[in-house]
Structure 1
Amino acid sequence: MDGEGRLKIYPARQKYKILSLFCLALKFEAGRIYNEKEVNQILMQWHTYGDWAMLRREPYDKGFLNRKSDRTAYWLEEKQPTLSSSGLELEACRK
């Protein structure tokens, strides 16, 4: 993460991928429905390396976001993956 909390690279190691996705998931409001454009806008604000399309897929693939099959609506999953299962803590998102 850079000094403003933006993701500079997408990590290769699985536990750091989960941490990155967890931190990005914190940018979404529980119970709110987002369209694809809104998801892209949020993701573009919180990373600096340009691959927001991959960042839109990864939270879905890893269980942070869900979406309609036609990709017209996205929402934060009620039950989120945990950091403790990867040996990480929430404080890492604030660095």
Structure 2
Amino acid sequence: MSKSPLPFPVDDISVFAKSLRRQLDGLERAPSHVEMLNLLAKAGGYRNFQHFRAQQDARTNLDVPRPLPADVDYRRVKRLVRFFDAQGRLTRWPKKFTMRMLCLWVMWSRIAAKVPLSEREISDWLDEQHLFGDYALLRRELVDRGLVTRTADGREYRRIERQPSAEAIELLKHLRQ
């Protein structure tokens, strides 16, 4: 085990205490040091201590300010940053659905809110936002995933106002830096 300090913020100390109590009630003996670390990490919303530690390491590498949300996979955010160039353009389309969705949130965040766009305008705009040459794929995915709406005849597109996931917010913050 490392001797470097690992901050352990929790959103609600009462929920944390109840979760820890339930886990301790299920044990027949006092937990070992490693078991206790896992119990604490689980009560804090992590899968286990290794998950907590990996999140802390990734947070440190990304320079994410505290408090650290437990529901963000910082390793995934770190990998996703590599899908964008220095100007913030998407260089390639990820293979995994979860990573695609996070990239779509980046595209969504850059579309002007409450501004109708023609098919040509959104296609041209999307063409400027990526480097792999398939604006139709991005346009279709934005519509299919409920981030953009279009009229039945396909003439007008509008951004749908939604709350991005915590991971998408972290990715957006990092790309803006």
The answer as to whether partners of 1:19 and 1:93 remain within 8 angstroms in 2 is no
Q: Please say if 1:74 is aligned against 2:151.
A: no
**Identity within the alignment, %:** 32
Question: Which has more radius of gyration?
Answer: 2
Q: Please say if 1:44 is aligned against 2:124.
A: no
TM-score normalised to the size of structure 1?
0.87
Distance 1:12 1:48 in 2: 16
Q: Please say if 1:65 is aligned against 2:148.
A: yes
Counterpart AA for 1:50: G
| Secondary structure class of the residue paired with 1:75 | strand
User: Which structure carries more helix by proportion?
Assistant: 2
Residue 56 of structure 1 corresponds to 139
Pairs within 5 Å for 1:79-90: 79-80=162-163, 82-84=164-166, 87-88=167-168, 89=170, 90=172
Residue 115 of structure 2 corresponds to 32
TM-score normalised to the size of structure 2?
0.49
Question: What RMSD, in angstroms, separates the aligned Cα atoms of the two structures?
Answer: 1.5
- In structure 1, stretches of 5+ residues that fail to align are none
| Runs (4+) off by over 3 Å | 92-95
Distance 1:17 1:2 in 2: 16
Q: Please say if 1:91 is aligned against 2:134.
A: no
Q: Please say if 1:10 is aligned against 2:119.
A: no
Query: 1:92: how far off?
Result: 4.1
